[in-house]
């Protein structure tokens, strides 16, 4: 009897051990199968959009790590240095120009996600027609956003650029300037901070939203949905077909994100898919 009782106890303990080990293996397997995806982004709207797809990626075994940046240079540097798997903050003309200046960086557009129409804002006038002679206008100082700002000012009827000059325009390419506007070129992220000191400012939508400006309500003039400046997911060349990157793109181009963009941003941001 004693031997039988001992054997019975051993059997129970072994069964428990097997069950425990099995559970341990299941948990370990799930943890082992989870892949990390680190994406750099500017806060609004890029990081906000990425937050929305975290649950969907988690279901596919992908842990999305969002790293926020406040400038337009470091996200590409970090991506090139393999500190990130992708970034989400720029449009293709900016990326193309960045690559021209940093030929050693092999970065690529993986997909376009949305358009952020650039706008002209002012705290001094409520109509661009009221800008006085010699009024000061702040614009981004990087080549692509600077050219984009000048093109917008031309479209608003405030100046005329030399024939054939478009995205690459600089202030030296202004052919006609009836109001003798003075241009102050500053880093894109800093343009909103100049609003108190200038007569008008041309601001990227993501930075305008960070200071609670509503482009469709507060901009005196803005790009329409035909803008070629689609914001993209950028990756290192050769990584665009990685399963994790493809999952990221699929989640960002979903109906959920399209509806989120339309409902939250009210036309200030336009889906590009």
At 172, is the secondary structure helix, strand, or coil?
Answer: helix
The predicted pLDDT at position 225 comes to 64
Q: Are strands 221-222 and 119-121 parallel, antiparallel or unpaired?
A: antiparallel
Is pLDDT at 60 greater than 90 in this prediction?
yes
At 236, is the secondary structure helix, strand, or coil?
Answer: strand
Q: CA–CA distance from 161 to each of 118, 138, 139, 147, 151 (Å)?
A: 18, 17, 15, 10, 8
The pLDDT tens digits of the residues spanning 218-236 come to: 999 999 766 789 999 999 9
CA–CA separation, 1 and 99 (whole Å):
82
Q: What is the largest CA-CA distance in the chain?
A: 109
The pLDDT tens digits of the residues spanning 135-165 come to: 999 999 998 899 999 999 999 999 999 999 9
CA–CA separation, 62 and 55 (whole Å):
9
| Residue whose pair of structure tokens reads 């601001």 in the numeric block | 203
CA–CA separation, 98 and 70 (whole Å):
17
């Amino acid at each position: 009897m004693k031997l039988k009782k001992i054997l019975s106890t051993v059997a129970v303990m072994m069964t428990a051990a097997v069950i425990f080990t099995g559970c341990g293996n299941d948990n370990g397997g799930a943890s082992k199968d989870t892949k990390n995806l680190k994406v750099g982004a500017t806060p609004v709207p890029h990081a906000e959009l990425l937050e929305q797809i975290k649950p969907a990626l988690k279901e596919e075994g992908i842990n999305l790590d969002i790293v926020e940046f406040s400038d337009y240079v470091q996200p590409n540097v970090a991506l090139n240095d393999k500190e990130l798997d992708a970034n989400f903050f720029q449009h293709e003309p900016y990326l193309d120009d960045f690559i021209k200046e940093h030929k050693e960086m092999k970065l690529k557009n993986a997909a376009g996600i949305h358009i952020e129409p650039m706008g002209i804002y002012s705290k001094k006038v409520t109509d661009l027609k009221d800008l006085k002679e010699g009024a000061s206008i702040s614009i981004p100082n990087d080549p692509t956003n600077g050219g984009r700002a000048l093109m917008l000012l031309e479209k608003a009827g405030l100046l005329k650029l030399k024939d054939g000059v478009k995205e690459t325009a600089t202030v030296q390419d202004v052919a006609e300037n009836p109001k003798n506007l003075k241009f102050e070129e500053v880093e894109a992220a800093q343009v909103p901070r100049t609003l108190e000191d200038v007569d008008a400012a041309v601001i990227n939508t993501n930075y305008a939203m960070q200071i609670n400006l509503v482009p469709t309500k507060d901009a005196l003039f803005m790009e329409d949905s035909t803008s070629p400046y689609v914001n993209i997911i950028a990756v290192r060349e050769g990584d665009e077909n990685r399963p994790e990157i493809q999952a990221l793109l699929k989640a960002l181009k979903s109906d959920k994100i399209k509806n989120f963009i339309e409902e939250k941003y009210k036309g200030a941001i336009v889906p590009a898919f």
